[in-house]
Amino acid sequence: MRYRLRLAGGALALSVVLTACANLPTSGTVDINSLQGSGEQAQTGIQIVPEVPGRTWAPQDIVQGFLTASASFGDKFSVARKYLTPWFSRRWHPGVAATVIDSPKVSSQVQPRGVVTRGPLTKLINVTARHITELETSGPNQAGTVVAIPGSSKYSFSLIQKAGVWRIDAISVDGKPAKRTFLLLTSTDFQRDYQARELYFYPVGSIANALVPDPVLIPQRPGNSGIDILVNSLLDQPQAPGWLYDAAKTEFPKGTKVISVTVEGGVSVIVRLGGAALKTGQVQRNRMADQLDATLTSSAAGSQAQSEIRSVVLQIGRQSLQRRPWDVTKRVPRGALAPLYYQVPGAPGEPAEAVVRASASERGSVPLPGGLGSEPFSVMAVSTAPAASAVLAGCRGRWLYLMPQSRAGVAINVHLPAECTSLSWDIRGNLWVTANPDAYVIPGAAFGPPARPALVTVQIPPLPPKAVVQALRVAPDGVRVAMIVRFGSSTRILIAAVSRNGNPSFTYLAQAQQQPQQMLRVGSDIMNPGVVAWLDPDHLLVLDRPPSGKAQLYEVPLDGGPSTQVATPSGAISLAANWPYGPVNPQLAVGIAPVGTAPGEIEIDKNGLLNPRWVPQVKGVTPVFPG
């Protein structure tokens, strides 16, 4: 190889954001652990400074050098353009979106007939590689989301020679001309050159005043261009094929113009807007400011680096808005003092009992209908209304029971198509039910459920026909759904969004207006996920239950990064978590399996996940928080 690489000691990072190697959040079927380069580990803090092409370089060296130079965002591809003819350089406009490949093989081929070039001597160089994924963006300078397109592709580079120098004059992908924005990177370069961040949007038609994080990737460029990309990405509504399309929205009106983005002292950002933003009211401006503040000050869930931005000022005309620290609490839809519910099996001949535990010293019995026997429900969920008016749902086999506490002693029975495996309430009062292999919704079940509730099938088009939805939990924001899905012999954790397309006959996940959308895969390093709960807006808590051995709790980031083991009580078979409200730890509870004649036990974490201290609280099973 005739070209050389120089490694710059300066960090390849935003000047106001610490470097964070991209964890490549996954969607579709891509496994994050498979995203490896050709044996080399990507290193953060290393900037690739590619060599300009030499006059005597052969065509294969030119292609290799161009691929290396394409990974250098710091010079705006100025070196990469030196590998192109002037004509093709004017046509090539790479943006944020990239095609990611692994272990490329470069080979020479005789130029086929019919290929038009602009030189007397031509050469065709083919690059074949395993096609890992693509980064989809709604614009050339907007943040991207990973779209899984596995397989292999052939990338052909046509070169011409002028004055003894070879230059690239055309690129095709599997026989078709490449797009003008085409950017080809190896997985090693991609992981080094991109960082994980999060955009924040509002739910569509939601009653929750919560912001929904959207994991994205942006290039690690010097200066403020990374901040610019994040700001510009908030101006447009989430687009297809993004996973939040038709499920989340931005408060920035169409026609908003970014006048300037200024960073002061490395920790403060001033965003000046014009255009349609000048016609907005105060409430909308506050929500726009919240989106900016959350996006620019928050770090991605799995990132080792933290955002250095501490304050964001939004300027619209003569008005300046800066959100106060306590405004962040408005982004979380539920408080941390929600009561814990659990069950106590009945003695022989006595009915089982459901218990609500408001505090360590305050607990009460939840009236259950007679005739249900001494065995507790296999799964249970409680609506988010106050305890006196909450609806308790429980399953036994194929029977689902809805028990409004305002009408004690009365149960509404629903016969399911298959055995019930999980229950979850959303903020709209709908009950989500999984019954192998499908998922269903009972609309409005929390508001005086009728004698014969409607059972609506949940449409999840991206899943193959034989996939089995084993468990499902709706996030407190009412937008996102975490699922445990079995595909043959493997089990995966998937995140999808609830589409609001106005059709009451169907509930869609990962689909809007009949167009299949993406789902995010998280926790791909967990082999046997059995129970899932929402820990906070950016993390799940998952209980891994292997066929043999001890069950293990994991904290799972939603950006596709590696999961973190959490100290787990012996015998854990179930779990419950409740989102925090403000800067406090979430409430955590685990259910311990009965042993012999000993009843089950509920243990509560007293310290938080960094150093959990599990303390036995009560005898019982199936701990749940409202939701």
Domains of the chain: 5-193 (no CATH), 199-331 (no CATH), 340-624 (2.120.10.30)
The mean-pLDDT minimum among 39-48, 205-214, 497-506 falls in: 39-48
Higher pLDDT, 273 or 322: 273
pLDDT given for residue 271 in this prediction: 96
pLDDT given for residue 328 in this prediction: 56
In percent, the amount of the chain with pLDDT more than 70 equals: 76
Provide mean pLDDT across the span 372-388.
82
Check whether 332 has a pLDDT greater than 50.
yes
Check whether 205 has a pLDDT greater than 70.
yes
Higher pLDDT, 5 or 248: 248
Higher pLDDT, 508 or 479: 479
pLDDT given for residue 256 in this prediction: 96
Check whether 513 has a pLDDT greater than 60.
no
Please choose, from the candidates 209, 191, 49, the residue with its C-alpha nearest in 3D space to the C-alpha of residue 133.
Answer: 191
Check whether 97 has a pLDDT greater than 50.
yes
| Gap between the Cα atoms of 424 and 101, Å rounded | 39
Please choose, from the candidates 595, 556, 551, the residue with its C-alpha nearest in 3D space to the C-alpha of residue 574.
Answer: 551
The mean-pLDDT minimum among 282-286, 467-471, 476-480 falls in: 476-480
pLDDT given for residue 515 in this prediction: 47
Provide mean pLDDT across the span 367-395.
81
Q: Which residues, listed in sequence order, are joined to residue 498 by a DSSP beta bridge?
A: 509
Higher pLDDT, 422 or 190: 422
The winner for highest mean pLDDT among 215-219, 394-398, 556-560 is 394-398
Check whether 27 has a pLDDT greater than 60.
no
Check whether 351 has a pLDDT greater than 60.
yes
pLDDT given for residue 32 in this prediction: 29
Provide mean pLDDT across the span 28-53.
46
Average pLDDT of the chain is 79
For the stretch 315-330, pLDDT in tens is: 999 999 987 765 655 5
pLDDT given for residue 512 in this prediction: 47
| Gap between the Cα atoms of 449 and 444, Å rounded | 7
pLDDT given for residue 297 in this prediction: 85
How many CB atoms lie under 10 A from the CB of residue 347?
Answer: 9
Amino acid (one-letter) located at 12: L
The mean-pLDDT minimum among 184-193, 305-314, 334-343 falls in: 334-343
**Which two tokens mark 11?**
């960090």
Check whether 5 has a pLDDT greater than 60.
no
pLDDT given for residue 517 in this prediction: 56
Check whether 7 has a pLDDT greater than 60.
no
How many CB atoms lie under 10 A from the CB of residue 92?
Answer: 20
Higher pLDDT, 348 or 480: 480
Strand 614-619 and strand 601-605: the pairing is antiparallel
Q: Which residues, listed in sequence order, are joined to residue 577 by a DSSP beta bridge?
A: 588
In percent, the amount of the chain with pLDDT more than 90 equals: 31
pLDDT given for residue 508 in this prediction: 77
State the DSSP code for 240.
Answer: T
Check whether 80 has a pLDDT greater than 70.
yes
Higher pLDDT, 86 or 115: 86
Higher pLDDT, 511 or 614: 614
Residue with tokens 């998922």: 439
Higher pLDDT, 489 or 409: 489
Check whether 350 has a pLDDT greater than 90.
no
Question: How many residues are there in the chain?
Answer: 627
Check whether 294 has a pLDDT greater than 70.
yes
Q: Which residues, listed in sequence order, are joined to residue 574 by a DSSP beta bridge?
A: 591
Dihedrals φ, ψ of 5, to 5°?
A: -115, 140
Check whether 250 has a pLDDT greater than 50.
yes
| Cβ proximity of 122 and 160 under 8 Å | yes
Strands (DSSP E) contained in 331-455 are: 340-344, 353-357, 363-366, 379-382, 391-396, 399-404, 412-415, 420-425, 431-435, 438-442
**Which two tokens mark 103?**
């272990």
| Gap between the Cα atoms of 497 and 517, Å rounded | 9
| Cβ proximity of 570 and 550 under 8 Å | yes
The DSSP annotation for 14-70 comes to -TTB--------EETT--GGG---SS----TT-EEEEPPPPTT--HHHHHHHHHHHT
For the stretch 121-160, pLDDT in tens is: 688 888 888 777 777 777 767 787 776 555 778 899 999 9
| Cβ proximity of 562 and 23 under 8 Å | yes
| Cβ proximity of 473 and 534 under 8 Å | yes
pLDDT given for residue 498 in this prediction: 87
| Cβ proximity of 23 and 303 under 8 Å | yes
Check whether 433 has a pLDDT greater than 60.
yes
Check whether 240 has a pLDDT greater than 50.
yes
| Gap between the Cα atoms of 229 and 259, Å rounded | 14
Check whether 220 has a pLDDT greater than 90.
no
Q: Which helix (H) or strand (E) holds 65?
A: helix 59-69
| Gap between the Cα atoms of 525 and 557, Å rounded | 12
Cβ-proximal residues to 259 (8 Å cutoff; 6+ apart), any chain: 272, 273, 274
Provide mean pLDDT across the span 32-42.
32
Provide mean pLDDT across the span 199-219.
81
CA 231 to chain centroid, in Å, comes to: 19
Q: How confident is the model at residue 223 (pLDDT cuts 50, 70, 90)?
A: low
How many CB atoms lie under 10 A from the CB of residue 450?
Answer: 11
Q: Which helix (H) or strand (E) holds 217?
A: strand 212-219
Check whether 65 has a pLDDT greater than 50.
yes
| Gap between the Cα atoms of 243 and 239, Å rounded | 8
| Cβ proximity of 415 and 402 under 8 Å | no
Q: What is the pTM of this model?
A: 0.80
Q: Which helix (H) or strand (E) holds 268?
A: strand 268-275
Higher pLDDT, 477 or 289: 289
State the DSSP code for 138.
Answer: S
Q: How confident is the model at residue 600 (pLDDT cuts 50, 70, 90)?
A: confident
- Helix or strand or coil: residue 267? coil
The mean-pLDDT minimum among 391-405, 455-469, 551-565 falls in: 455-469
The winner for highest mean pLDDT among 40-54, 309-323, 355-369 is 309-323
